[in-house]
Amino acid sequence: MNMGGKAIKMNTEFAERAVDMGLDANPIKGMYSYSDQYSEVVYRNLGTRLLNGDHPTDGLDTPLIGIFIKAPDWDNYRYVGYVSNLYKFIGNDVLNQRIRESISSVGMPIMTENTIFTYDYTRMRNEIIIQNGQQVPNAGDVLPVMIVNNSYNGTRAASVAFGISMDYRQSRVTFGFNLGEIRQVHIANSNTRMSSAINSYVRVFTDNIANMITQSFSSRLSEEEMLGVLDVIEGFGKKRREAVSALLDEIQQSQELPSAWQMFLAIVRYSSFEPNLNIKRMMENAAESVLVIPPRMYDVLERLEQE
C-alpha cells in the first residue's frame, strides 16, 4: 500500500527480478507491466485496504501478486488472478519472437501463425507453421509446427512443442507432440540451442513423417483399443466423446475397426477447434497414444526433451 508517498512494498524477490524478466517497473506505485500486440499485463502487490487505520489488519501487504490484464478489445484492465513471489514471467511476444528468430536462423520460412488465448488472456498457445511440408499419402501436404505455450498466471510453464499441421476438408488441423516438449529453462538458455533443436526436429520430420502416417494408417486398432481411447475422451466430457465418435464414423465410411491414423485424425480434427487449452492438450496426448511413431523420430523427440 502507498503510505505517505513512500514506495509501495512489493514482494521482494519478484520486484528484484522484474526488470530482468522484461517488466517495466514503477516501484512508487508498486506496479510492474508489459505490453505487446496481444495484450497488456500489470502485476501489483495485493494487500488490505488502508481505511481509518483503526484495525491492525488495515494496510497490510500479502504474499500474493495480483494480475491485471487488458486485451485489445477490452475497455479497461480486469483482475484475472494472482501469482506467488516465485513466479517467472516471460512476455508472450518475447517468447514468440525468440522462436521465430530460431526458425529463421536455420533458413526455414514461416508460413503462418495461429495464436489462441484463454478467455481471460492469462494463457497463450501460438502455432507457428513452417513452410517445409511433405506430400504424404492419405494425408496430403503435412507441415512441421512449433507450438509455443505461455501463461501469465503460472498455470502453464513456458514451453515449445513440436507438431504437425495439415488440411482436412478445407480446415487446417494442428497437433503437438507431448514427447519432445522443451521447457522454459531450456528455451532461455541460448538461441543457438533452440535453433539446433528446431533444425533437428525438421530433419527428422522430413525423413520420417510419411513413414509415421503410412504405418499408422496400416495399423488397425482392436475393439478394446478403440473403446479405451474413446473412454479417455469421455473423461473430458460425454459430448466430446460423441463428437469424436461422429468424426470417426465420417472419416472411416465403413463398418471396419478404425486404423490408428483414422482415430488420430478424428481426435485432432476435434481438438484443433477446442477452445479450452487444457482439454486441447489432453486430447492431443490421447491422439499421440495411438500413433505409430518410427523409432528414429521417437529417439530424436525424446532427446530434445531431455537436453
Expressed in angstroms, the distance from the first to the final Cα of the chain is: 44
Is there a single domain that holds both residue 253 and residue 123?
A: yes
What pLDDT does residue 10 have? 56
Q: Are residues 113 and 42 part of one domain?
A: no
| Residue that finishes a domain, picked among 83, 100, 130 | 83
DSSP for 245-285? HHHHHHHH-SSSPPBHHHHHHHHHHHHTT-S-HHHHHHHHH
Q: Is there a single domain that holds both residue 300 and residue 281? A: yes
* C-alpha grid cell, residue 288: 499421440
User: Scanning the structure block, which residue is given the C-alpha cell 516438449?
Assistant: 181
* Mean pLDDT within 270-285: 95
Residues of the chain with pLDDT > 90, as a percent, come to 70
Distances (CA, A) of 82 to 75, 85, 87: 21, 10, 10
Domain shared by 258 and 136, yes or no: yes
pLDDT of residue 157: 87
- What is the distance between the alpha carbons of residues 288 and 200, in angstroms, rounded to a whole number? 20
Chosen domain end from 51, 83, 115: 83
pLDDT given for residue 190 in this prediction: 63
Same domain? 70 vs 104: no
146 and 277 share one domain? yes
Q: Which three cell numbers stand for residue 193?
A: 540451442
The confidence score (pLDDT) of residue 13 equals 81
Mean predicted confidence (pLDDT) in 228-238: 96
**Do residues 41 and 78 lie in contact, with contact meaning Cβ atoms separated by under 8 Å?**
no
So what's the pLDDT on residue 5?
40
**What strands, in cross-sheet order, belong to the sheet with 40-47?**
24-26, 31-35, 40-47, 61-70, 78-83
7 domain-assigned:
no
pLDDT for 264: 97
Q: Does residue 6 lie within any of the structural domains? A: no
Print the domain residue range for 33. Answer: 12-83
Q: How many domains does the chain have?
A: 2
pLDDT digit string, tens, across residues 19-45: 999 999 987 778 999 999 999 999 998
6 pLDDT band, cuts 50/70/90, is very low
pLDDT digits (tens, 9 = 90+) for 73-123: 999 999 999 998 889 999 999 999 999 999 999 999 999 999 999 999 999
Same domain as 218, residue 70: no
Q: Rounded to 5 degrees, what angle do the CA atoms 243, 167, 126 make? A: 85
Q: In degrees rounded to 5, what are phi and psi of residue 96?
A: -60, -45
Question: Which of 83, 101, 131 is a domain's end point?
Answer: 83
Give 149-199 pLDDT, tens digit per residue.
999 999 988 999 999 999 888 788 999 999 999 887 656 656 778 899 999
What is the Cα–Cα distance from 213 to 215, expressed in whole angstroms? Answer: 6
Whether 288 contacts 301, CB under 8 Å: no
**Judgement on whether residues 156 and 97 belong to the same structural domain of the protein:** yes
Whether 229 contacts 265, CB under 8 Å:
no
Q: Does residue 67 sit in the same domain as residue 101?
A: no
pLDDT at 303 over 80: yes
* Together in a domain, 60 and 118: no
Query: Has residue 234 been placed in a domain?
Result: yes
Mean pLDDT of the chain: 90
Amino acid at the residue 42: V
